[in-house]
Amino acid sequence: MADQASLLLRRQLKELTKKPVEGFSAGLVDDSNLFEWAVTVLGPPDTLYEGGFFNAVLEFPRDYPQSPPEMRFTSEMWHPNVFPDGKVCISILHPAGEDAMNPQESAAERWSPVHTVESIVLSVISMLSSPNDESPANVDAAKEWRDSRSEFKKKVARIVRRSQEML
């Protein structure tokens, strides 16, 4: 299983190196470990996150692509769909199949082995553009997004500025 995952991850890394995708960069944290990737997401244009540089780590399970990776921002992030510890909570990173604990999410929205590093990170970029406050990972951020948009915007502007200073 791990051999298949290694081959697939090596192929995806080679593809992203040859043909970078606008909006993010990705590579290995350590050349000896194909299962841990460093990702830098550029704040999407025309969003509150525009101009930001947000670092994250993608950790792949040994049975990838049968199971989804976990993505965690290592840069500060204030967003309804990012847990306070940085873990990203979006449907495509949830294990395949139905989930009785999360009935508003259909099986079709969840993990599928056809997803790639590119499709995962592009989904996260889309998430930054359109927060889902219906099933938040960060309840405080979701509440502020709904009830006090100006405070939410101030916090995000602050983390964007900090991300630029870290360069």
Q: Is 53 among the domain residues?
A: yes
Q: Is residue 60 part of a domain?
A: yes
Q: Is residue 101 part of a domain?
A: no
Q: What is the mean pLDDT of the chain?
A: 92
CATH value at residue 38: 3.10.110.10
pLDDT for 109-130, tens place per residue? 779 898 999 999 999 999 999 9
> Which pTM was predicted?
0.91
Task: Name the pLDDT band for 76 (thresholds 50, 70, 90).
Answer: very high
With helix as H, strand as E and coil as C, how does the chain read? CHHHHHHHHHHHHHHHHHCCCCCEEEEECCCCCCCEEEEEEECCCCCCCCCCEEEEEEECCCCCCCCCCEEEECCCCCCCCECCCCEECCHHHCCCCCCCCCCCCCHHHCCCCCCCHHHHHHHHHHHHHCCCCCCCCCHHHHHHHHHCHHHHHHHHHHHHHHHHHCC
Position 76 in a domain: yes
| Number of domain units in the chain | 1
Active-site positions read 89
Domain presence at residue 131: yes
| Domain ranges, residue 8 | 2-96+106-165
- The reported pLDDT for the residue numbered 102 is 58
pLDDT digits (tens, 9 = 90+) for 122-152: 999 999 999 998 889 999 999 999 999 999 9
